[in-house]
Amino acid sequence: MTGKTIAFFPEAAFGPALNSVGIAQATEALGHKAVFLCDPGFTGVFAGYGFPEHHVPMSEPMPAEEMAKYWSDFINGHIPNFRKSPYEQIDTYVKDCWAAIVSTAKWAEKSLPGILEQVKPDVVCVDNVILFPAIKRYSQRHGKPWVRIISCSENEIPDPAIPPHLSGCGEHDTACFHAFDKRFNEVVGPIHADFNAFLKEAGEQPYPLGQFFEASPWLNLLLYPEPVKFKRSRPLDPRRFQYLEGCVRKEADYQVPTFAKHNDKPLLYVSFGSLGSGDTALLERLIGLIGRLPYRALVNVGDYIEQYKDVPANVHLAKWFPQPSVIPQVDAVIHHGGNNSFTECLYFGKPAIILPYVWDGHDNATRVQETRHGLKLHRYDWTDEQMAKAIETLLTDQVMAANLAKAKAHMQAESGPEKAARLLDTLARGA
């Protein structure tokens, strides 16, 4: 039987984008054709991995350079809010982010229907937090299934017994659950009403307050790993919901450079992701501290590399690292809690300090600490002594090391991209 066309439509952020790349690589290995629907700001990202791109404008037309920087500029404008708690961020970052996300859905509706008719995918995989009505209409018109990919924390699929998405609440802190949900619905309510009006125009039924997407009736792929899963009051039906245990893509090999100082000491990797690198003051503080400690470090500083002067001899900076090739070679990681970094550290059995700033970083930071797979620190309110002690703990805690070894063995045995590809293969072939 000939291969099918499987379209991937990840949100315009590198986390979901690169997860989809991992799955797409595995689907092509099974003989299918993978194509990407993407915001023009991501032009070249998927082509760089050898996949065709079809551009879906998701914002007001703007010069290519501005479009590529849209979300990084959005994040940088909110840096003062990164000091706030997840609850406090509802009124600032979270509200502004949902307003922007709703706007992207409206813009996508202008071109997405025509692009789908042009590409004619046999399966559409969407990794986003919001519904694009054109995907459901295409599915209904042509009898083709659509799949939801959940790159973020599994609490993106809600349950009364687990913390609300974005809340950073502890697993059993139900007072935190209720307070967060109440404030979220109050603040985001007008944005949600506007989205429901858009859904009505598109011929869709309105969503309950607080809900912006739905589960696929065919298949939902969650990247969240078994070792840190929540205990739900309503277990997800395995016929429709499958956990991938992470989704680590294949990247080029990485050769660790020789350091002029401490070249025989433990190696750290520091990254706040593609969007968090604009927090240069925090990165400078970490770089300065590591320069005084007996370690080496690889530090991802994004497009801001020219701003760093007098870099310590035991620190190597780069605009970008092939992270799945780097993490296996390091001893510990300091990151922002994005789900790629979160799952990749578990997949390779590496301890991490999470300094969360927004979105599911708060959830992942809380979860890594309460399951003893790493540590959570406030993004800014730590002393040099506290950070040095936390790094030492990552390198010496035997319970944490044992937990990570179990997580690594389990996740690598599952092989998330290949599992996803098999599920999509079955769906595409109508088995």
Cα-Cα end-to-end distance for the chain: 12
Residue 176 located in a structural domain: yes
Strands 219-222 and 146-150 come out as: parallel
Asked if residue 255 is part of any domain, the answer here is no
Domain assignment present for residue 253? The answer is no
Residue 205 shares a structural domain with residue 154: yes
- Please report whether residue 71 resides in a domain: yes
Asked if 89 and 193 sit in the same domain, the reply is yes
Sheet containing 374-376: which strands, arranged edge to edge? 315-318, 296-300, 267-271, 332-335, 352-354, 374-376
Whether residues 398 and 421 fall in one domain: no
**What are residue 322's phi and psi, to 5 degrees?**
-75, 85
Domains identified in the chain, total number = 2
> Do residue 194 and residue 49 come from a single domain?
yes
Q: What is the pLDDT along the chain (431 residues), one digit of tens a residue?
A: 579 999 999 988 888 888 899 899 999 999 999 999 998 888 899 999 999 999 999 888 777 666 656 667 777 788 888 889 999 999 999 999 999 999 999 999 999 999 999 999 999 999 999 999 999 999 999 999 999 999 888 999 999 999 999 999 999 999 999 999 999 999 999 999 999 999 999 999 999 999 999 999 999 999 999 889 999 999 999 999 999 988 777 788 999 999 999 999 999 999 998 777 888 999 999 999 999 999 999 999 988 899 899 999 999 999 999 999 999 999 999 999 988 899 999 999 999 999 999 899 999 999 999 999 999 999 999 999 999 999 999 999 999 999 999 999 999 998 889 999 999 999 998 84
Whole-angstrom distance, CA of residue 16 vs CA of residue 13: 6
Per the confidence metrics, is the pTM higher than 0.75?
yes
Instruction: Tell whether 282 and 217 lie within a shared domain.
Output: no
The DSSP output letter for 343 is H
Are residues 141 and 235 located together in one domain of the fold?
yes
Q: 241 lies in a domain? A: yes
Question: Looking at the domain assignment, is residue 259 inside a domain?
Answer: no
Say if CB 191 and CB 95 are below 8 A apart.
Answer: yes
Here the CATH number for the domain that contains residue 17 is 3.40.50.2000
- 293 and 236 both lie in a single domain: no
Q: Say yes or no: 339 and 375 in one domain.
A: yes
Find, among 212, 203, 206, 215, the residue nearest to 145 by Cα: 215
Q: Is residue 257 part of a domain?
A: no
One domain, residues 192 and 286: no
Same domain (yes/no): 357, 423? no
Question: Which residue range is the domain that position 196 belongs to?
Answer: 5-245+415-428
DSSP three-state, residue 377 = coil
Are residues 312 and 385 both part of a single domain? Answer: yes
- Scored b (16 or more CB within 10 A) or e, 256-274 reads eeebeebeeebbbbbbbbb
Does 236 map to a domain? Answer: yes
Q: Do 338 and 398 fall within a single domain?
A: yes
